[in-house]
Protein backbone atom coordinates (compact mmCIF):
# COMPACT_ATOMS: atom_id res chain seq x y z
CA UNK A 1 0.00 0.00 0.00
CA UNK A 2 1.10 3.58 -0.62
CA UNK A 3 0.74 5.68 2.54
CA UNK A 4 1.00 9.46 2.57
CA UNK A 5 1.47 11.39 5.78
CA UNK A 6 1.09 15.12 6.29
CA UNK A 7 2.83 16.30 9.43
CA UNK A 8 1.96 19.82 10.62
CA UNK A 9 3.45 19.95 14.12
CA UNK A 10 6.81 19.91 15.80
CA UNK A 11 5.20 18.85 19.08
CA UNK A 12 7.64 16.21 20.25
CA UNK A 13 5.37 13.25 20.92
CA UNK A 14 3.09 13.76 17.91
CA UNK A 15 5.97 14.24 15.45
CA UNK A 16 7.82 11.27 16.96
CA UNK A 17 4.72 9.09 16.56
CA UNK A 18 4.28 10.18 12.93
CA UNK A 19 7.79 8.97 12.08
CA UNK A 20 7.34 5.80 14.20
CA UNK A 21 4.17 5.01 12.26
CA UNK A 22 5.97 5.63 8.97
CA UNK A 23 8.82 3.35 10.03
CA UNK A 24 6.57 0.45 10.99
CA UNK A 25 4.70 0.80 7.69
CA UNK A 26 8.01 0.68 5.79
CA UNK A 27 9.06 -2.39 7.75
CA UNK A 28 5.78 -4.03 6.64
CA UNK A 29 6.74 -3.37 3.00
CA UNK A 30 4.50 -0.36 2.39
CA UNK A 31 5.68 2.72 0.54
CA UNK A 32 5.55 5.84 2.71
CA UNK A 33 6.02 9.52 1.95
CA UNK A 34 5.78 12.37 4.46
CA UNK A 35 5.07 16.02 3.65
CA UNK A 36 6.23 18.44 6.35
CA UNK A 37 4.10 21.58 6.56
CA UNK A 38 4.14 24.59 8.90
CA UNK A 39 6.25 24.15 12.00
CA UNK A 40 6.90 20.50 11.11
CA UNK A 41 9.68 21.65 8.76
CA UNK A 42 11.72 22.14 11.95
CA UNK A 43 11.60 18.42 12.87
CA UNK A 44 14.97 17.34 11.53
CA UNK A 45 16.97 18.49 14.55
CA UNK A 46 14.21 18.13 17.12
CA UNK A 47 15.26 16.19 20.22
CA UNK A 48 13.72 15.54 23.61
CA UNK A 49 14.78 13.18 26.39
CA UNK A 50 11.79 10.89 25.68
CA UNK A 51 10.98 11.67 22.03
CA UNK A 52 13.99 11.99 19.71
CA UNK A 53 12.18 13.17 16.59
CA UNK A 54 15.37 13.84 14.63
CA UNK A 55 16.56 10.28 15.21
CA UNK A 56 13.23 8.79 14.07
CA UNK A 57 13.33 11.02 10.98
CA UNK A 58 16.80 9.68 10.11
CA UNK A 59 15.62 6.09 10.63
CA UNK A 60 12.59 6.76 8.40
CA UNK A 61 14.85 7.95 5.56
CA UNK A 62 17.33 5.12 6.15
CA UNK A 63 14.58 2.53 5.67
CA UNK A 64 13.45 4.10 2.37
CA UNK A 65 10.86 6.67 3.40
CA UNK A 66 10.64 9.90 1.45
CA UNK A 67 10.24 13.33 3.00
CA UNK A 68 9.14 16.58 1.39
CA UNK A 69 9.35 19.95 3.18
CA UNK A 70 7.09 22.88 2.27
CA UNK A 71 9.31 25.49 0.63
CA UNK A 72 7.17 28.41 1.75
CA UNK A 73 7.25 27.13 5.34
CA UNK A 74 11.05 26.72 5.18
CA UNK A 75 11.54 30.20 3.73
CA UNK A 76 9.29 31.84 6.32
CA UNK A 77 11.65 30.41 8.97
CA UNK A 78 14.80 31.42 7.04
CA UNK A 79 15.62 27.73 6.62
CA UNK A 80 16.86 25.88 3.56
CA UNK A 81 16.40 22.36 2.34
CA UNK A 82 18.51 19.47 3.54
CA UNK A 83 19.31 16.13 1.98
CA UNK A 84 16.68 14.45 4.18
CA UNK A 85 14.10 17.24 3.74
CA UNK A 86 14.17 18.66 0.21
CA UNK A 87 12.34 21.91 -0.51
CA UNK A 88 8.97 21.11 -2.04
CA UNK A 89 5.81 22.86 -3.22
CA UNK A 90 2.07 22.49 -2.87
CA UNK A 91 2.19 20.75 -6.25
CA UNK A 92 4.39 18.11 -4.59
CA UNK A 93 1.87 17.85 -1.74
CA UNK A 94 -0.95 17.36 -4.23
CA UNK A 95 1.09 14.72 -6.08
CA UNK A 96 1.62 12.87 -2.80
CA UNK A 97 -2.12 12.91 -2.05
CA UNK A 98 -2.93 11.62 -5.54
CA UNK A 99 -0.19 8.96 -5.29
CA UNK A 100 -1.31 7.60 -1.91
CA UNK A 101 -3.83 4.85 -1.34
CA UNK A 102 -4.31 6.24 2.20
CA UNK A 103 -3.54 9.62 3.75
CA UNK A 104 -2.89 10.30 7.43
CA UNK A 105 -2.34 13.64 9.14
CA UNK A 106 -0.55 14.35 12.39
Question: How much is the pLDDT for 45?
Answer: 85
Confidence of residue 21 (pLDDT cuts 50, 70, 90): very high
Residue 91: pLDDT over 90: yes
Domain 2-105: homologous superfamily in CATH:
DsrEFH-like (3.40.1260.10)
In whole angstroms, give the CA distance from residue 28 to residue 53: 21
Q: What is the pLDDT of residues 45-65, one digit of tens each?
A: 888 999 999 999 999 999 999
Amino acid sequence: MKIGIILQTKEFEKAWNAFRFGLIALKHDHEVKIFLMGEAVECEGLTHEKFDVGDKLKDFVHFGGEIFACGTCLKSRCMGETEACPMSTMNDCLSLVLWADRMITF
